[in-house]
Amino acid sequence: MANSTALIVTHAGAPFRLESINRTPLQAREVLVRLKATGVCHTDNAVRTGKLPGAFPLVLGHEGAGVVEEVGSAVKSVKIGDHVLLSYAFCRTCGTCKQGKPYACVEMERRNFSCSRPDGSCPLQWEGLDVHGCFFGQSSFANPAIVQESSCVPVDPSLPLEILAPLGCGIQTGSGTVFNIIKPVENDTRSLVVFGLGGVGCAAIMAASYLAKQNPGVLDVIIAVDLKAERLELARQLGATHSINGQEHQSDLIEEIRRITGGVGADAAVDCTGALSIINDMIVALAPCGRAVTVGAPPLTSKMSIEVFPFINGCKSYRGSHQGDSVARKFLPFLADLYQKGEFPIDQMERSYPVGAVNEAVQDMLDGKVIKPVLIW
């Protein structure tokens, strides 16, 4: 077997450890990618700590970017030498995939969260043990990484992969929610609230700011809500017109949103926290005919309740979204182009770390010292 360098989690709650591991031969629809960089996401840490289910020992990572080194016998969409961003995996054959909605693939959970290949096998081995992988079809905390073909998005080789690596999940999710679901231009959206300013929330702010600049009269009000003053300041730099510190407005958050929006509430809102209290406040704070979307992940057993009568009479709508309803093969090159044009400054929220400093990177992310850590291989 050939070797890869990988960040292994031996059991739930264990730190990442850098090890040399064995990888099994490529299957027909798999690609070997030599990584340049991998973004670190809160979802990686949630699985590592056991807050989300995982199978151990395990290699995580789902925001990779690199160059194709080898392809399986049935791979058609990428070739050796292609530069690729890595995103979620999907089956291609279910009804929603055939409708052009791979982000809602019927097999989404199995192909992205089962920690195994589609056939149930493990792609990696270490010290005589099977090592679970194929996380989001990539497990890009291993280098080279065995990647599902559907997770690969070819991009222009001139693009800086070390900066664009995080596009494949959190940034796609936040910006996609604005571009693909809120659709501010089409829906004449004048005001938007974004709750939670991690990578997902900051991406939503950047997308909203871009659309506001391109379309006068749209999104005149972009409200950022978070508990940390530093993140609120960054959101202002990224294009938020107003900011609300949730620590200072614990008892009057809804009233503050209504005050900023002239008493009517927000036309649209995005929850990036997954906190049930925030979800309820978000819905209440909507203007009549307002639309709310949750993309933050609550605990798996969470259930929410709303006051149905005002929800109905207000003609409000609420939905969830995976990956911001983004078709990665189309959307990631679009975001990369915006970055190249200076319209989507994701580098302002990133900090690079050597792979061996992964545990420091995770802690800095949890402490709020950095929005988006990026590991450089």
What string of pLDDT tens digits covers the 377 residues of the chain?
A: 789 999 999 999 999 999 999 999 999 999 999 999 999 999 999 999 999 999 999 999 999 999 999 999 999 999 999 999 999 999 999 999 999 999 999 999 999 999 999 999 999 999 999 999 999 999 999 999 999 999 999 999 999 999 999 999 999 999 999 999 999 999 999 999 999 999 999 999 999 999 999 999 999 999 999 999 999 999 999 999 999 999 999 999 999 999 999 999 999 999 999 999 999 999 999 999 999 999 998 888 889 899 999 999 999 999 999 999 999 999 999 999 999 999 999 999 999 999 999 999 999 999 999 999 999 99
Residue recorded with tokens 């001139």: 158
CA distance 191 to 55: 42
pTM beyond cutoff 0.85: yes
* DSSP β-ladder status, 221-226 and 242-245: parallel
CA distance 270 to 225: 10
CB neighbourhood size of 49 (10 A): 14
CB neighbourhood size of 95 (10 A): 10
CB neighbourhood size of 138 (10 A): 32
* Cα–Cα nearest to 223, from 160, 282, 284, 280: 282
Q: Which amino acid, residue 210?
A: Y
Q: Give me 368's structure tokens.
A: 């709020």
pLDDT at 298: 83
Burial (CB < 10 A; 0-12, 13-18, 19+), residue 130, is middle
- Phi, psi at residue 139, to the nearest 5°? 40, 60
CA distance 174 to 64: 18
CA distance 320 to 215: 26
- Phi, psi at residue 31, to the nearest 5°? -130, 140
How far from chain centre, in Å, is Cα 106? 19
- Phi, psi at residue 50, to the nearest 5°? 90, 5
CA distance 89 to 30: 11
Q: Give me 285's structure tokens.
A: 């704070």
pLDDT at 328: 99
CA distance 375 to 352: 6
Cis peptide, bond prior to residue 144, ω within 30 of zero: yes
pLDDT at 99: 98
Residues 230, 305 contacting (CB under 8 angstroms): no
pLDDT at 2: 87
CA distance 148 to 145: 10
pLDDT at 300: 80
The β-bridge partners of 4 are 21
Q: What is the CA radius of gyration of the chain?
A: 20
Helices 199-214 and 229-238, axial angle in degrees (round to 10): 30
* SS3 (DSSP) at 324: helix
CA distance 223 to 245: 11
Task: Give the DSSP H or E segment for 84.
Answer: strand 83-86
Largest CA distance in the chain: 65
CA distance 302 to 310: 23
* SS3 (DSSP) at 54: coil
pLDDT at 297: 83
